[in-house]
Amino acid sequence: MLRAGGLVALPTETVYGLGANAEDPAAVARIFRVKGRPSSHPLIVHLGGAEYLDDWVEDVPATARLLAEHFWPGPLTLVLRRGPRVPLEATGGLETVAVRVPDHPVGLALLSAFGGGVTAPSANRFGSVSPTTADHVRAELGEAVDFVLDGGPCEVGVESTIVDVTGDAPSILRPGGVTREDLEAVLGCPLEVPSTSRVRVPGQHPSHYAPRARVVLVEPEKVVAEAGLAQELGHRVGVFLPAFLADAPVKAHAVVTVPSSMAAYAHGLYGFLRELDQQGCDLIIASVPVEEGLGLAIANRLRRAAGPRPS
């Protein structure tokens, strides 16, 4: 299917990707059409192993090799200088390219059998919640995708961490499945993390990863009171109830109790947002976790979900 120019949804450890042959500009163009994503937003090229890195990028700095060695296969994406094999269609015209080796047996088996690079954004419509099961992909993209390769639910549940290694010092463009602390431990230096309010790279607008329901973030202690108030005002309120309030009585249309383990929270996050949408909530009241470890990526996604939406 990939060789024939088709679109294949593939499982990774983070979220499902909408894959196409990276070297087939027509297939890559179809990804943008299906997602409804502006063609200037660059895609990640997925490879079957770190040994293919030099086929796709140029001038790989030692830092990039170190990170690849430690974290691949895994939820880390490296931004490097584009090699001639990568068409500009895949990079949104940029001279850099994002690459990663996903840690999923089924996804990796596909990449190895295919042999080439597979460009794959998350397999959702532009701006909405990323899919973490094959059913999410089918529900959202339906016939628009040629094949959905079902590898079960994604383990990590939030997208890869993107690290730009083209400059003098590496910097995090998007927090994700590999924690800042783990990266810093390997690099032996502190890393800059983006503020959610500024658009750093194309495709990182404030409103992203958003469910249909409006998302409002409040302090954890205020979640129950705010939910009750909004429900009384006539909203169909969905609540992300902090674990320490699990037994509190809540006046709301639907309640999700947030796991106290950040790994479990990340794993469930997009499913929770989808679930509250499905239950017909028009407003979701949540709070951000402490921004350490995977909490940084979770907070980033929640802030973006709550960000201003295009009208």
Q: How does DSSP classify residue 151?
A: -
CA distances from residue 8 to 32, 35, 124 in whole angstroms, order as listed: 14, 13, 13
Q: Is residue 122 within the footprint of ligand TXA (CB under 6 A)?
A: yes
211 binds, among ligand TXA, Mg ion, none (CB under 5 to 8 A by kind): none
- Give the CA angle between residues 291, 253, 269 to the nearest 5°: 30
Report, in Å, the least distance between residue 300 CB and ligand TXA.
11
Cross-sheet strand order for the sheet of 214-217: 214-217, 283-286, 237-241, 254-257
Give the 3-state DSSP-derived string for 32-47, with helices as H, strands as E and coil as C: HHHHCCCCCCCCEEEC
Interface characters, 194-213, with ligand TXA (x: CB under 6 A):
-------xxxx---------
Q: By C-beta, is 12 or 287 nearer to Mg ion?
A: 12
- Would the CA dihedral through 112, 114, 117, 118 be positive or negative? negative
Nearest alpha-carbon partner for 305 in 273, 266, 261: 273
Report, in Å, the least distance between residue 77 CB and Mg ion.
12
- Other CB atoms within a 10 A radius of the CB of residue 230 amount to 21
Report, in Å, the least distance between residue 25 CB and ligand TXA.
16
Binding site for Mg ion (CB under 5 A): 122
Q: How does DSSP classify residue 139?
A: H
- C-alpha–C-alpha distance, residues 66 and 282, integer Å: 45
11 binds, among ligand TXA, Mg ion, none (CB under 5 to 8 A by kind): none
- C-alpha–C-alpha distance, residues 181 and 294, integer Å: 10
30 binds, among ligand TXA, Mg ion, none (CB under 5 to 8 A by kind): none
298 binds, among Mg ion, ligand TXA, none (CB under 5 to 8 A by kind): none
Interface characters, 80-119, with ligand TXA (x: CB under 6 A):
-----------x--x-xxx---x-----------------
Q: Is residue 53 within the footprint of ligand TXA (CB under 6 A)?
A: no
Report, in Å, the least distance between residue 268 CB and ligand TXA.
16
Please work out the total of residues on this chain that contact ligand TXA, with binding judged by CB under 6 A: 29
Q: Which residue has 């295919």 as its token pair?
A: 114
Count of helices and strands (H, E) across the chain: 10, 14
Report, in Å, the least distance between residue 282 CB and ligand TXA.
26
What DSSP string describes 172-216?
A: EEE--SS-HHHHHHHHTS--B---TTS--STT--SS-SB-SSEEE
Report, in Å, the least distance between residue 41 CB and ligand TXA.
6
Structure tokens at 27: 């297939």
Among 121, 157, 170, 175, binds ligand TXA (CB under 6 A): 121
Report, in Å, the least distance between residue 37 CB and ligand TXA.
8
Interface characters, 250-279, with ligand TXA (x: CB under 6 A):
------------------------------
Interface ranges with ligand TXA (CB under 6 A): 12, 14-15, 17, 41-44, 75, 77, 79, 91, 94, 96-98, 102, 120-122, 159-160, 162, 173-174, 201-204
